[in-house]
Each structure stands twice: as structure tokens, then as C-alpha cells.
Amino acid sequence: MTKRRLDVTIGNVNEVYDGAGGILWEMLMGEQIHVGAESETDLLARKAGVGAEAHLLDVCSALGGPARYLARNYDCRVTGLDATQQMHAEAIRRTAEAGLSAKLDFVLGNALDMPFPASTFDVVWGQDAWCYITDKQRLIEECARVLKPGGMLAFTDWLEKGPMTDEEWTALNAFMVFPYMETLEGYATLAEEAGLAVVEKEDLSPDFAEHIQMYLDQVQHQFRQAIVENYGQEMYDAVERGITLWRDASAAGKVGRGRVIARK
Ligand SMILES: C[S@@+](CC[C@H](N)C(=O)[O-])C[C@H]1O[C@@H](n2cnc3c(N)ncnc32)[C@H](O)[C@@H]1O
């Protein structure tokens, strides 16, 4: 079934992460721009069986925070793929500064057309980013293609959950600049259709709702002044309104987050 989509292009996503969006999300989440920070990366790494021999592909690697953390703590090799110039350049700069350039490389490119040969990686990885991608079926097919046989697909993402009005659906996706979100079941089906065996799928939505409430509290109490000073009152109001919308929808079980582990 074709899912409804907002008319969001990769150019729109680049505008977010080349501009204030990347900075604001780093303010709230840290340089690992996903819910749960390091502990979530450790959990995903354990579930994917990441070890010193692994070559991992981080699809939508942003600032390279998880890539550096994985190289430091699991001694693996990581390739980061991201489509936004500012994120790509910053990932390279921070990695050189951390002295980790021998273990990591960053490639500027689109997850829907990965510039890698088939059967290249032991682990294909994603954290809270694939919600930006305009064609999840093609994305999962690309992930399956570049995985070695026996390799693991491991990712978390923001998800569509309960029923909502068209108005809510549009406002939630438009604020985040998501074309649409997948469901947990939808991702599992896409993985199976791409020839992968789903090992585990987990609904993390209650934890997600708590995090969104925490981000809203931070915006209102810790970062309000900095956002107003740097980006203006209008931007602050839009951010507060958008995160409030997400807080309400996550508390009502309409949106959430999940984790999928699958083997090729
Ligand atoms: C929320 S951030 C990712 C955070 C990162 N996974 C982490 O945990 O630190 C979203 C990233 O996805 C990237 N992105 C979105 N669509 C993409 C695509 N089609 N191909 C490659 N990168 C994309 C954006 O450029 C942005 O850097």
C-alpha cells in the first residue's frame, strides 16, 4: 500500500541540517542526535553484535557522534553516510580532532542510492534518522544490498502509531520536515520483503514520550533565552509549538519510537 507523504525533498532536509535545525537538535540531544544518547548506542551495538572485526555503515551519520563512540568503545571500523554538507564536514572535523580518522570515514551521499558495492558491511545501522527518508522501501532494499550475508541491520526510528486526524498527521510531520513515518510493523515487513530475517522488533514509545517531555522542558526552561537571542522570538515560538504538539501526540500514543534488528 502506498503511504501518504508530504512533499518533502532531500533539499528541504539539507536546509534543516545545514542551518539552525542541526544546532538545535544537538543542544537538546548532544552530538549523538538521537533519543537515549550513549546508552541507546550501547544497547543497539550489543543487539547487533558489534565487535572489533566489524565494519559498520551508519546511514544518516550526521555529526558522527555515534561513529566515534563506536570506534572508541567497540574498536570497530565505521563508515558514515550523510547527505548534508554541513553535517558531513563537521563529522570529518570532529573525528580528526578526536584522533580517530584512521578508523572512520565519512561519505557525502544519499541513503536511497548508496555509493557502495553489494555485500560490503557487517552491520548497517541507523538511529532516529530514517523518518526523514522519502522512500523507506528503497532505503531498506539498499541496506539489505550493502550488507554482507549473515550481517545485521540494526536501527531505531520515530514511528507512526495510533490513529490521528489528517490535520495532526500533517502538522507533526511538517514540523519535523518528515515526508512520512513508518510503523514498527511496516518496517518489519519491509525488512522481510528485502530478504532479511527479523530477529527482534521493540516498541519504545513510553520512553519516547518521556524524552519528548524532557526536550520540551529544556526548551522552555534551559534554552529559551539562547534560542531567542540567536534565532529570534518567532523561531522560539515555532519550536515550542512544534515540540508541544509532539509531546501531546506521544503522550496519547499517536507517535512513538521503535527498534528493529534483522539478519541477512
Ligand atoms: C537526526 S539526524 C541523524 C542523527 C544520527 N543518526 C545520530 O544518531 O547522531 C538526521 C540526519 O539524516 C540525514 N539525512 C536525511 N535524509 C537523508 C538521506 N536521504 N540520505 C542521507 N542522509 C540523510 C540528515 O542530513 C541528518 O544529518
How close is the Cα of 82 to the center of ligand 1, in Å? 6
Instruction: Give the model's confidence band at 2: pLDDT under 50 very low, under 70 low, under 90 confident, else very high.
Output: low
CATH code assigned at 109: 3.40.50.150
Substitution candidate for ligand 1 out of 13, 43, 141 with most atoms within 8 A of CB: 13
Does 229 map to a domain? no
Residue 174 lies in a domain: yes
Can you give the pTM of this predicted structure? 0.97
- In the block, residue with C-alpha cell 520483503: 193
Q: What is the pLDDT of residues 218-255, one digit of tens each?
A: 999 999 999 999 999 999 999 999 999 999 999 999 99
Ligand 1 pocket, residues with Cβ under 6 angstroms: 10, 13, 17, 32-34, 60-62, 65-66, 81-84, 87, 110-112, 127-129, 132-133
Mean pLDDT across the chain, nearest whole number? Answer: 96
Does residue 167 form part of some domain? yes
For residue range 127-181, what is the model confidence (pLDDT) as tens digits? 999 999 999 999 999 999 999 999 999 999 999 998 999 999 999 999 999 999 9
Residues of the chain above pLDDT 90, percent: 96
Q: Which residues lie below 8 Å from residue 244, measured CB to CB, with a gap of 6+?
A: 216
Give residue 53's pLDDT band: very low, low, confident or very high (50, 70, 90). confident
Give the distance (Å) from ligand 1 centre to CA of residue 60: 3
Element spanning 135, H or E: none
In a domain, 83, yes or no: yes
User: What is the distance between the alpha carbons of residues 131 and 191, in angstroms, rounded to a whole number?
Assistant: 16
Q: Show the domain range for 73.
A: 10-212+253-263
In a domain, 241, yes or no: no
Task: Classify residue 4: in a domain, yes or no.
Answer: no
Q: Is residue 219 part of a domain?
A: no
**Does a structural domain hold residue 3?**
no
Helices (H), the chain: 10-18, 20-29, 37-48, 65-74, 85-97, 136-146, 166-176, 184-193, 205-217, 224-231, 233-251
pLDDT at 3 (0 to 100): 75
- Mean pLDDT confidence for 85-89: 96
Backbone phi, then psi, for 131, in 5-degree steps?
-55, -20
The count of domains in the chain is: 1
The x, y and z cell numbers of residue 234, run together, are: 518567532
Q: Which cell goes with 27?
A: 543542544
